[in-house]
Amino acid sequence: MNNKGLNRIKVVLVEKQKTSKWLAEKLGKGEATISKWCTNRSQPSLETLVEIARVLQVDVKELLQSTIVDTPMVYIKLPNKGLQG
């Protein structure tokens, strides 16, 4: 499975002016584990993600990339035959 870009942990840490070392200490995890999460080489469990959100004081949704693909709208101009009165 391609984990690229699944979480935003690194981004939120920067926004909160916190380090991965700080997060590792708060969670009781190794710095290598946090590094893997921050680079999206692996993903935390859902329970751990909730704990990360609690520690960083953010909604868990802020730690995840959106799964909604932003596709452009396509407009089709239809001929207006028969619509003129």
Rounded Cα gap, residues 4 and 39, in angstroms? 8
| Percent of residues in the chain assigned helix, strand, coil, to nearest 5 | 45, 0, 55
Find the CATH number of the domain harbouring 25.
Answer: 1.10.260.40
Give strand pairing partners of 64.
7
**17 within a domain of the structure (yes/no):** yes
**69 within a domain of the structure (yes/no):** no
Give residue 1's pLDDT band: very low, low, confident or very high (50, 70, 90): very low
Is the pTM higher than 0.95? The answer reads no
Count of structural domains within the chain: 1
**44 within a domain of the structure (yes/no):** yes
Q: What is the pLDDT of residues 9-26, one digit of tens each?
A: 999 999 999 999 999 999
**55 within a domain of the structure (yes/no):** yes
Looking from the CA of 7 toward its CB, the CA atoms found within 13 Å total 25
Domain hosting 18: range is: 9-62
Q: What is the pLDDT of residues 12-70, one digit of tens each?
A: 999 999 999 999 999 999 999 999 999 999 999 999 999 999 999 999 999 998 777 77
**54 within a domain of the structure (yes/no):** yes
